[in-house]
């Protein structure tokens, strides 16, 4: 079986898992509603606003978070893809505490972007977090796709992360061992890649993108690189091999004019739909 077929099969399997997470009529109604909200968004490169980046039609993750302030609710994480390579992540969630829809966007790669909702720009990431960092002390990518997946799972376990409430209460994040999405993008020099999530309950709080990359010139072997993207407004601290490599401040403590130009944004939208479980 070819690499592309194997990866496509994995992606379809993960999509199926996401769909199965929305069991019952309320879950299906929520999913339809969240897809409608997602369809109102457009992502473009800042230097080429005439061409949109495609949003994958189905989520890579369905989630709820009963441990987060009792909010529970339901949410879905989608990916904007350029070809097969993920460029940015989108999460939409319904929180019954205030019956509102919350939107979160995170850039995965350091290209300036513009995101529009109903044709009005609301997010223009001009600066990045930790992106395209070479992963040291990692074995070179092997030839086998299944063994590369094992390599990526092992490398993902080298990372750890924690989140902090406004009261500065620390909570360790848990790594989901199965990637949300796997891909190859040879046109970009990416032999293989996978997107992992660190979660509370099953709610993604941090994304880790691992990629096996060919050197621009043929005089160096392929190597691994990683990018980190917050998917939470809370303060986070991330470590690699037990050494802190990155931290983020509470999103709402940033200056208002900086929130729309950073690599992550959270926006509270209008009221959610009403279903029997929410009445």
Name residue, tokens 């010139």: 217
**pLDDT at residue number 274:** 59
Show Cβ contacts of residue 89 under 8 Å, excluding neighbours closer than 6 positions.
77, 78, 79, 80, 105, 106, 108, 195, 207, 229, 231
Cα 221 to the chain's mean position, in Å?
28
- For the stretch 205-257, pLDDT in tens is 999 999 999 977 666 789 999 999 999 999 999 999 999 999 999 999 998 88
Q: In terms of pLDDT, which residue wins out, 118 or 2?
A: 118
Q: pTM to 2 decimals?
A: 0.88
The dihedral built from the CA positions of residue 170, 174, 179 and 185, taken in this order, carries a sign that is positive
Secondary structure of 27-40 in HEC code, one letter for each residue: HHHHHHHHHHHHHC
pLDDT band at 193 (very low <50, low <70, confident <90, very high): very high
- For the stretch 107-148, pLDDT in tens is 999 989 999 998 899 999 987 788 999 999 999 999 999 999
Name residue, tokens 């983020």: 248
**pLDDT at residue number 65:** 66
Q: Which two tokens stand for residue 74?
A: 């339901």
**pLDDT at residue number 118:** 87
Cα 103 to the chain's mean position, in Å?
13
Cα separation of 84 and 81, whole Å? 6
Question: Strand 203-213 to strand 223-230: parallel, antiparallel, or no bridges (unpaired)?
Answer: antiparallel
Task: Compute and round to an integer the Cα radius of gyration of the chain.
Answer: 18
Question: Strand 174-175 to strand 264-271: parallel, antiparallel, or no bridges (unpaired)?
Answer: unpaired
Percent with pLDDT over 70 in the chain: 84
Cα 89 to the chain's mean position, in Å?
4
């Amino acid at each position: 079986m070819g690499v592309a077929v194997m990866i496509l099969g994995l992606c379809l399997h993960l999509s199926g898992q996401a769909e199965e997470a929305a069991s019952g009529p309320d879950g299906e109604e929520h999913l339809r509603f969240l897809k409608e909200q997602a369809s109102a968004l457009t992502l473009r490169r800042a230097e080429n606003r005439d061409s949109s980046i495609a949003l994958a039609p189905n989520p890579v993750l369905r989630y709820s978070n009963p441990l987060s302030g009792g909010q529970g609710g339901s949410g879905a994480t989608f990916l904007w893809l350029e070809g097969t390579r993920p460029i940015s992540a989108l999460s939409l969630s319904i929180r019954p505490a205030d019956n509102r829809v919350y939107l979160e966007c995170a850039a995965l790669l350091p290209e300036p972007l513009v995101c529009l909702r109903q044709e009005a720009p609301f997010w223009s990431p001009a600066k990045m977090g930790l992106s395209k960092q070479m992963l040291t002390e990692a074995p070179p990518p092997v030839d086998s796709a299944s063994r590369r997946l094992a390599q990526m799972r092992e490398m993902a376990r080298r990372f750890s992360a924690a989140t902090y409430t406004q009261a500065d209460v620390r909570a360790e994040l848990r790594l989901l061992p199965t990637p949300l999405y796997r891909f190859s993008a040879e046109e970009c020099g990416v032999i293989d890649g996978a997107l992992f999530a660190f979660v509370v309950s099953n709610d993604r709080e941090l994304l880790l993108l691992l990629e096996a990359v060919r050197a621009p010139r043929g005089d160096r072997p392929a190597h691994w690189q990683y990018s980190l993207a917050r998917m939470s407004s809370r303060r986070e601290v991330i470590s690699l091999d037990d050494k802190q490599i990155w931290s983020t401040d509470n999103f709402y403590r940033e200056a208002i004019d900086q929130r729309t130009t950073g690599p992550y944004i959270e926006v509270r939208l209008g009221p959610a739909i009403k279903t029997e479980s929410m009445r």
